[in-house]
Amino acid sequence: MKKIKNIWSLALVFLVLSACNDDFLEEKSDLTGVNEEVFQDPNMAQAYVDYIYYLFSPGNNGRNLIWDLYGGFEFSKNTDEMPGRSAINQEYAQISYTEDHALEYFGERMSTSIRNNTWTRMKQINIFLEEIDQHGLPEEVRNELKGQMYFWRAWQYFDLVKLYGGVPLVLEPQNPIIADAEETEVPRSSTSACIEQIVADLDMAMDLLPGRWPNEDWGRITSGAAAAFKSRVLIAWASPLFNRADDQSRWQRAYDAATAARNLLESNGFGLYMEGNLEDGEAWENMWFEEVGNPEAVMIYGFNNSTSDQTRKNNGWENACRPRNLGGGGRMEPTIQLVNSFPMADGRPIGESPNYEYDLNHFYRNRDPRFYKTFVFNGGLWPYREDENYRHWSYRWYNNSGDQTPSKTTETQGANASGIYMRKQNNPNASSEDNFTVSGTDIMEIRFAEVVLDIAEAAIGIGNIQEGLNAIMEIRERAGVENLDGTYGLGSGLGRDQAFAKVLEERKVEFAFEGRRFWDLRRWLLMDDTYGTAQRLGLESIHGMRRMGIYVVVKDGAGQSYAGSADPMIADEDGNAIVIDRSPESYPDGIETEEEYLDYLYDNYFEVQIKDDLDPTNDNWTFHWYPEYYFFGLNEDVLSTSPYLQQTVGWNSMNGDGTFDPLAE
């Protein structure tokens, strides 16, 4: 983890010096807010930049596969990936700036301590960009440092724009102590002006940054990462959320950005990770665990496996996924809606394959190889360091005959809610001895696959449908999907809307639980069907949905649901099980492998049922989305401390209804 130690050690130096040397970041006595020494020493200037990385990074034991600006899994709870009530999926009496659905990310009241929030990060970046050229550091050093800061400013602004539309463009450090009110009261700029500023910052980053850093600096932002992020920004700008008139020039601009990003990345050794057998998804699974030099990893959040309090930066995802009986948290709860999105082995949707039959009781059979690398189901393989052949069992049974719910479970330490577990990015070398907590696996915030699917979406947008489908086929080929029809199951003769639906469904599968789904649904106006996009694309909106899981219920030899207190599938010391041994020393006649025996159990002793208690069960609860959430309003704290800011249209304020239109030019 050399690269992580390098970046994090410099950030730590910055923090230590801040604490031990009152002058290090102390604002000057003349209230200009600048300590010139920071910008005269290359090591201190580098530490400053690394501290900005720290501010934008998940914390120690962060459980997300993303930078989650909301906190926890709140955005994922507002998709078909996972269940849960949140501030933005329940009913309210009215849309109001005083309610919890007016998200706090825009800003908060000033406190007595410096907080890591939107505008403190922005101020630190702006101070650096204003000062770094004024204190004598070599140009090459300054350019690389500035390039990283331009990237992070663009990153911060896009976080704001994708939630609120236009926001105040503050490009110089403000000092409310000595500045006039007019200087600090910056109004909201148009959304288009914000997008142009984001793109300008990313263009600067691309000009100033190297295409690849030395291995000891692996994890720093490259010119290719800036280009890939520019592609993400312009894909969003071309999408229906911002592009209601379907302006083709926006799709063309996104296409140009995505293809330029691909070319730049490939010229510096990046590309789809292809090491391993493609047919069974081995390469797709392996890509998570190669770090320095990983061609797939365009932008990462770095972690380490240190146990020292001073340097510890562990990835909490492994523990969050692993089952409780092995010491994990068992907190990841993928829905059956997500599971059903994964196609069959030939790439066709479930129920539509001419080659493979689908039924709920055998939902795991003949699926896209990514299915087996993303989920763990009852009886599925889930290797870890101490047991490379571990199978996880999650079946249930009834306590008493006539019970409505199978309340007994083989998971004696507690089961997860959905009956399906997340296996994605679970390291087979992770250890149960430390409860899977000491994980240094990096998070890939931008993967090369995203650039490929950006090309697919933008190509479809400009009418190059076959080019777009070819890009999706690249992703499916790497994943190990069978190509029995020459299209990897995508079909032929597709129109523009059908092709758009294909790329969105591919993103849902490829990036499951990577934090893309909420933003894809929202930028395509698919949270509800107020604008008719779901009907147009033939996709299901989330409004009104109940996210569901499964029960795998034990049946006895007569095909009846088993009821009793003891586990019916674990043999006693004499080798006898009440119903049948799930792990026998020998198999019935005609069965030779563990996989065949698992099929035998599902054929004869398991019944798969839909589980509908993941979302709240009281008051006929369903997912509720308000169209006003496509552009969030400013909350009470922001408006009370900055009353000059316009509220978003559709939201109220202490000054009346909102007047800022995020779609106005």
Condensed to tens digits (0 to 9), the pLDDT of residues 653-662 reads 999 999 999 9
Measured CA to CA, the distance from residue 308 to residue 50 in angstroms comes to 20
pLDDT higher for 107 or 362? 362
Q: pLDDT digits over 564-582, tens only?
A: 999 999 999 999 999 999 9
Model pLDDT, residue 27: 42
- CA-wise closest residue to 579 among 600, 555, 602, 607: 555
Model pLDDT, residue 71: 56
* Alpha-carbon torsion (192, 196, 199, 201), positive or negative: negative
Which residue has tokens 């055998």? 362
Q: pLDDT digits over 282-341, tens only?
A: 999 999 999 999 999 999 998 888 888 778 889 999 999 999 999 999 999 999 999 999
Which residue has tokens 């920071």? 38
In the numeric block, which tokens belong to residue 290?
């190669």
In the numeric block, which tokens belong to residue 144?
């690389």
Q: Which helix (H) or strand (E) holds 391?
A: strand 391-392
Instruction: Decide: residue 93, CB within 10 A, 0-12 exposed, 13-18 middle, 19+ buried.
Output: exposed
* Close Cβ partners of 232 (under 8 Å, ≥ 6 residues apart): 158, 446, 450, 454
Q: pLDDT digits over 153-171, tens only?
A: 999 999 999 999 999 999 9
Measured CA to CA, the distance from residue 108 to residue 614 in angstroms comes to 33
Q: pLDDT digits over 47-89, tens only?
A: 999 999 999 988 776 656 555 555 567 888 999 999 999 999 9
Is the pLDDT assigned to residue 20 strictly greater than 50?
no
In the numeric block, which tokens belong to residue 474?
């690249």
- CA-wise closest residue to 54 among 26, 15, 25: 15
Is the pLDDT assigned to residue 184 strictly greater than 90?
no
- CA-wise closest residue to 377 among 348, 407, 340: 340
Q: pLDDT digits over 502-534, tens only?
A: 999 999 999 999 999 999 999 999 999 999 999
Q: pLDDT digits over 598-616, tens only?
A: 999 999 999 999 999 999 9
236-260: average pLDDT: 98
User: Number of H helices and number of E strands within the chain?
Assistant: 20, 12
Q: How confident is the model at residue 13 (pLDDT cuts 50, 70, 90)?
A: low
Q: Count of residues for the chain?
A: 665
